[in-house]
A and B are shown apart, each in its own frame.
Chain A
Amino acid sequence: MIELRGVTVRYGNAVAVHDVTLRLPADKIYGLLGRNGSGKTSLLGALTSYRKPAAGTVLIDGVEAFENPAIARRTAFIRDTLDLSETDRISCAFRLAGRLRPSWDGAYADRLLDLFQLDPGKRVSALSRGQKSALGVVLGLAARAPLTVLDESYLGMDAVARTLFYREVLADYLAHPRTIILSTHLIDEVADLFEQVVVLDRGRVLLHEETETLRGRGYTVSGPAAAVDAFATGHAVLGEQRLGGVRAVTVDGRLDPAEVARGEAAGLAFGPIGLQDLFVLLTSQPLEASR
């Protein structure tokens, strides 16, 4: 069980993560969603002890995580800028991992190198952006760490490589269950993998829910402007569009069959919205509205 209690991360006077409290049960795949600058990387840095929070604590299985050797050994944090020596060859980086990480699986690492078409003899500095991303993924997966965190490291890969990555994460998670946290802003691609989702908005937790609960949240209502306005009062409106006399609003909430029947009778049309759209709308609300 990972617990963040009142975690605040500051860079000088700027607050990146504000008083975040989260409880993440172990052995699930989590998605950490948020726009650029929402504080995802800072939060993950605090969670993995790469950065000591300005306030609050991180506890893993009830023990304070910061500078705890047993916990550090069981944690893998792959950042977009790989924590490797540029001059090292991939095989050299693997050797180091093998010596320091008790859970490192070298054979699996080699299989993954094949999968992503990486040459172990190549130096890190000679890799393209996509190859570096793939290397990060290999290091993260082959570490088989009970807490594995990948911070958008895979976003440098092309769509095909990403698909291979998602399949591999799921396959290895099924074979070796562990806590996996992927931070991303490409929700549609990967939402099926997440059991729970945490959305960060401007340094605070906007929501923390099962992905399945999030699906089906939010819907669009469209039709004659007057009828739509009548419907919209009393609901939380996330966004709207107008085209002549037609208005379409996106509402936060779930469809109530009785409401739908009434609405359709009044000439309204109802439609679902996908996670990506919900995410975009929820995180583009003006500051006051999201409090």
Chain B
Amino acid sequence: MFDDRSPIYLQIAAGIKNDVLSGALKEDEQVMSTNQYAAFYRINPATAAKGFAQLVDEGVLYKKRGIGMFVSPDARARLRAERRERFFADVVEPMLAEARRIGIDLDEIIKHLGTRR
């Protein structure tokens, strides 16, 4: 279920962020408890807790004492903004580098993008 070569808590955090972005997790919705997460994915609950703590730090989740973890009301907007910032650096630049490597020039790319409009 998880890639064993990078920290699982980061993968958990990434998974939850994707769910928030896609709408599978709505704002102010409660997420599974660490125990439920642990039992479901068969991991140590401390790992799940670490992932949640990371998301609380990033403002994606917040904790209601005695009840559980909830998605922050502005989580979706935040994550989108974050991803937008990094879109060009993380997605577009590598794409352009690969294009250069295999000899596709900028005009070809622009032409292709034009057909998708």
What is A's interface to B at a CB cutoff of 8 Å? 28-29, 166-167, 170-171, 174, 188, 191-195, 211-213, 215-216, 272-275
Cβ B35 vs Cβ A174 within 8 A: yes
Cβ A167 vs Cβ B42 within 8 A: yes
- Cβ distance B93 to chain A, nearest Cβ, rounded Å: 11
Cβ A215 vs Cβ B46 within 8 A: no
- Cβ distance B82 to chain A, nearest Cβ, rounded Å: 17
- Tell me whether B50 is interfacial, beta carbon within 8 Å: yes
Residues of A within 8 A of B6 (CB): 215-216, 272
- Cβ distance A178 to chain B, nearest Cβ, rounded Å: 13
Residues of B within 8 A of A216 (CB): 5-7
Cβ B44 vs Cβ A195 within 8 A: yes
Cβ A275 vs Cβ B44 within 8 A: no
- Tell me whether B47 is interfacial, beta carbon within 8 Å: yes
Cβ B39 vs Cβ A211 within 8 A: no
Question: Which of A29, A171, A274 interacts with B4 by CB under 8 Å?
Answer: A274
- Cβ distance B38 to chain A, nearest Cβ, rounded Å: 6
- Tell me whether B9 is interfacial, beta carbon within 8 Å: yes
Give A29 to B8 CA distance when docked, in angstroms.
16
Give A5 to B5 CA distance when docked, in angstroms.
33
- Tell me whether B43 is interfacial, beta carbon within 8 Å: yes
Interface centre among A167, A194, A195, A212 (most CB of B within 10 A): A212
Of all chain B residues, the one with the shortest Cβ separation from A264 is: B97
Of all chain A residues, the one with the shortest Cβ separation from B51 is: A212
Cβ A192 vs Cβ B2 within 8 A: yes
- Tell me whether B45 is interfacial, beta carbon within 8 Å: yes
Residues of B within 8 A of A170 (CB): 38-39, 42, 44
B48-78 residues at the A interface, CB under 8 angstroms? 50
Task: Known contacts A191-B4, A192-B44, A192-B47; decide if A212 and B39 are in contact (CB<8 Å).
Answer: no
